[in-house]
Amino acid sequence: MSDKAKKTEAIYLWDCLHGGTLEKLRSDLMARTLTLVVDSSYHWEFHKLPADTRFQIVGENVRIAETFGFEPWLGATEPSRELPWKDAEKHRHQDSEKGRLISTDWNAFLAAMETDEDHEILEAKLTDSQPLVVLELGVYSYPNSNWYTVKIHADHFRYHVGERELSLEAFQEFGSKYWQAFGDRSRTQETQIEP
């Protein structure tokens, strides 16, 4: 397999961004940057940071900014109520896999960001696609239940927690500390409940 044909591994940014609210996208066309501002209140509380702290992810030399909407497969059906939950979820997943992403208007997405809706990040990954790095977010809006896949292609990304810039590894570590503590609390509570 040639170097170009090799698959690049995605780096998941779930620990920091999952459940966070995408508050705004700031674009500086002259500097060729695009900045994502994300609120994640449970991180600020856990790390004892001010409530107005935000993640900022800055794409440098942004070449492509695109959004996609989800178009469901027309043959999708709702599983029978008698079906066990696990089987019903498998059925929904199989139907969902038959849907597709369709390109949508970037400016319409930016306009949607200016509404009173919350835009929650449910998926986040980074892929080095040489020569560009691609940040991909799955964003779900409330209450209208719109799903957006946002892809930003840039030379590289910088990561900030408040005013502090972190390396990608430190950014991931910052997020994982909360989830590690969350998992430890859950295990402790399960142990206390056992007879």
Model confidence at 182: pLDDT above 90: no
Mean pLDDT of 139-166: 94
- In the chain, DSSP assigns E strands to 10-12, 21-28, 33-39, 55-60, 64-71, 100-104, 118-128, 133-142, 147-154, 156-161, 164-166
What are the pLDDT digits (tens) for 36-48? 999 999 999 999 9
Per-residue pLDDT band for 195 (boundaries 50, 70, 90) equals low
Q: What is the pLDDT of residue 23?
A: 95
